[in-house]
């Protein structure tokens, strides 16, 4: 069984990797070495391996880190994704989470840096996050080795159950319509190319060249896609990449207004 450890740079991936594997290699982000992936055996669990992948903010095809991480996920199909996020910067970190959920791979969220959240008087409603995202969420503090055993157990369970994210309806309005029209159009091609359908459709809406090439679409399909995207951009008065980013951040803002209380705010803030 293999877990892929995925998260933004500085979310605590390497710290968690070292706790899970028992390696006491120095943690640090030296420029140029982060594109390497590092594999280790999870202690106490025979046959369980974890891979520390380069930190990324998005599944776009622009940086070497994004390409390494995305190709690993799509080609190697790990048994589960452990998505580690910095709870003190939850909105920004969830931007990647929403994209990972589209890969049709069992996934668990490790909400890291909970020592800082507790220390500064903020709080995060784990049950609410879990219910709205539809994936398991485990609060941890990687540096203090808090919650790491529970995370490992629940990640193994998640992989065994093949519990793939089901709540993918975080899109809305014109973006929702575009994703669904395109998914309908490309379902055969996505299957043939071995790409998760929802991921492929979203990436086409964003104009992701490698995915468009991989799907080997024909001229008439490309024309229809152009039409769908141009129509969406016209309605939203924005370009395709910004439309997708706005939609994701709107979903995250609503989610966090339900689940996150910052220091100084009262519970009355929660609706």
Binding residues for GTP: 7-14, 32-36, 52-55, 112-115
Q: Decide: helix, strand or coil at residue 127.
A: helix
Q: Do 64 and 56 touch, CB atoms closer than 8 A?
A: no
- Partner in contact with 10, chosen from Mg ion, K ion, ligand GDP, none, beta carbon below 5 to 8 Å by kind: ligand GDP
Binding residue (CB under 5 A) for K ion from 4, 5, 42, 140: 42
Q: Does 69 bind Mg ion (CB under 5 A)?
A: no
- What's the rounded Cα separation, in Å, for the pair 51 and 82? 10
**Among 64-72, 111-119, 167-175, 243-251, which window interacts with ligand GDP (CB under 6 A)?**
111-119
Structure tokens at 139: 């609060």
Q: Which is nearer to ligand GDP, 27 or 217 (CB)?
A: 27
- Partner in contact with 42, chosen from K ion, ligand GDP, Mg ion, none, beta carbon below 5 to 8 Å by kind: K ion
Q: Which is nearer to Mg ion, 84 or 229 (CB)?
A: 84
Rounded to a whole number of angstroms, the CA Rg of the chain reads 19
Q: Do 93 and 104 touch, CB atoms closer than 8 A?
A: no
Pairing, β 137-139 against β 107-112 = parallel
Q: Does 255 bind ligand GDP (CB under 6 A)?
A: no
Q: Do 8 and 94 touch, CB atoms closer than 8 A?
A: no
Q: Does 33 bind ligand GDP (CB under 6 A)?
A: no
List residues forming the annotated binding site for Mg(2+). Answer: 18, 21-22
- What's the rounded Cα separation, in Å, for the pair 189 and 197? 9
Q: How big is the chain, counted in residues?
A: 271
**Among 5-13, 188-196, 214-222, 262-270, which window interacts with ligand GDP (CB under 6 A)?**
5-13
- Partner in contact with 136, chosen from ligand GDP, K ion, Mg ion, none, beta carbon below 5 to 8 Å by kind: none
- What's the rounded Cα separation, in Å, for the pair 75 and 162? 17
Residues engaged in binding ligand GDP (CB under 6 A): 7, 9-15, 27, 29, 55, 112-113, 115-116, 141-143
């Amino acid at each position: 069984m293999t877990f892929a450890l995925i998260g933004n740079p500085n979310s605590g991936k390497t710290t968690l990797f070292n706790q899970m594997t028992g390696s006491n290699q120095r943690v640090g982000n030296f420029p140029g070495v982060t594109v390497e992936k590092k594999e280790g055996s999870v202690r106490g669990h025979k046959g369980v391996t974890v891979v520390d992948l380069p930190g990324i903010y998005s599944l776009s095809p622009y940086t070497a880190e994004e390409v390494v991480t995305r190709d690993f996920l799509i080609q190697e199909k790990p048994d589960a994704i452990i998505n580690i996020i910095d709870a003190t910067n939850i909105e920004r970190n969830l931007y990647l989470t929403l994209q990972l959920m589209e890969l049709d791979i069992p996934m668990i969220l490790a909400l890291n840096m909970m020592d800082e959240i507790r220390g500064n008087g903020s709080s995060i409603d784990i049950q609410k996050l879990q219910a709205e995202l539809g994936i398991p969420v485990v609060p941890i503090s990687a540096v203090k080795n808090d919650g790491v055993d529970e995370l490992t157990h629940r990640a193994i369970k998640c992989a065994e159950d093949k519990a793939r994210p089901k709540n993918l309806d975080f899109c809305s309005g014109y973006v929702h319509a575009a994703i669904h029209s395109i998914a309908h159009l490309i379902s055969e091609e996505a299957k043939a190319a071995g790409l998760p359908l929802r991921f492929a459709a979203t990436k086409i809406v964003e104009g992701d060249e490698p995915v468009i090439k991989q799907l080997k679409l024909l001229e008439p399909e490309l024309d229809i896609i152009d039409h769908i995207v141009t129509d969406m951009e016209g309605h939203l008065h924005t370009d395709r990449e910004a439309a997708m980013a706005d939609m994701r951040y709107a979903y995250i803002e609503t989610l966090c207004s339900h689940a996150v209380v910052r220091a100084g705010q009262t519970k009355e803030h929660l609706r």
